């Protein structure tokens, strides 16, 4: 790679970070907590948002990132949540979201009465973590089906997050997973991270998650 190409990438990242900083400030001023959910495909992000909406309904808004389809948006709309879909397919199938796209989305969304803005990032444990969106809380969702070693193998998402949601706890009895080792691996990458264990299926941990959200809004 020539120095020129590195310079181009640097420029894009600097611009992204500037927009992210502005978004973070603006949403804080408006009293809206901005949470960026990142994970592998199929970790249960959409299902968690459906469960969250049952409690917070019209107080939350979701910006949904997908390469293709509006399947998740349709699920959330059925749950009565305001939702804005970003499809990256027409832009080369991008594997992550960028702060500029969130800014564009927000310019078209009415956030009156909204207390929590969620971004459901593209299902990818690698690339989204490289792009700061300006979220107040980056939350990485890790399903118990993915194995204990994933925090060590994909460290950036865990390093850049303030919260790790360990999902699908209901499947634990059917797996050989060592949950304590999974948590130790998460903390090896990020000693300060808050971990919440939950199951959208059984409701386990949902109260802790909602309490966490309420505390973010107060703080």
Contacts with a second copy by CB under 8 A lie at 5, 8, 40-42, 66-69, 71-72, 93, 95, 122-127, 130, 143, 145-147, 149-150, 152-156, 168, 170-171, 174-175
In contact, 94 and 121? CB cutoff 8 Å: no
**Nearest residue (CB) to a second copy, 27 versus 125:** 125
**Cβ(75)–Cβ(53) below 8 Å:** no
Rounded to a whole number of angstroms, the minimum distance from the CB of residue 177 to a second copy is: 10
In the complex, minimum distance from the CB of residue 134 to a second copy, in angstroms, rounded to a whole number: 21
8 Å CB contact between 130 and 157: no
The residue among 50 and 66 lying less far from a second copy, judged by its C-beta, is 66
B/e letters for 190-212, b = 16+ CB within 10 Å, e = fewer, are beebeebbbbbeeeebbeebeeb
CB of 26 to a second copy, least distance (A): 26
What would the two tokens of residue 161 be?
A: 């997050």
In the complex with a second copy, the residue whose CB is nearer, 170 or 208, is 170
Is the CB of 180 or the CB of 219 nearer to a second copy? 180
Residue 207 CA to residue 199 CA, distance in Å, equals 11
Q: How far is the CB of 194 from a second copy (least distance, A)?
A: 21
């Amino acid at each position: 790679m020539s120095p020129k190409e590195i310079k181009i990438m640097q420029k894009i990242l600097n611009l992204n970070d500037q927009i992210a900083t502005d978004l973070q400030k603006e949403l804080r001023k408006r009293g809206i907590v901005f949470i960026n959910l990142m994970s592998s495909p199929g970790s249960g992000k959409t299902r968690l948002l459906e469960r969250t909406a049952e409690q917070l309904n019209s107080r939350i808004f979701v910006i949904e990132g997908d390469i293709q389809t509006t399947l998740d948006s349709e699920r959330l709309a059925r749950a009565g949540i305001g939702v804005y879909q970003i499809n990256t397919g027409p832009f080369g199938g991008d594997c992550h979201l960028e702060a500029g796209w969130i800014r564009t989305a927000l310019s078209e969304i009415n956030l009156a009465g909204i207390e929590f803005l969620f971004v459901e990032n593209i299902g990818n444990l690698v690339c989204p973590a490289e792009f700061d969106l300006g979220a107040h809380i980056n939350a990485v969702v890790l399903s118990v089906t993915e194995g204990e070693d994933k925090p060590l193998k994909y460290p950036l998402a865990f390093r850049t997050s303030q919260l790790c949601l360990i999902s699908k706890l209901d499947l634990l009895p059917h797996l050989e997973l060592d949950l304590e080792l999974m948590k130790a691996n998460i903390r090896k990458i990020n000693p300060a991270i808050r971990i919440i264990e939950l199951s959208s299926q059984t409701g386990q941990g949902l109260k802790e998650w909602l309490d966490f959200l309420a505390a973010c809004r107060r703080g």
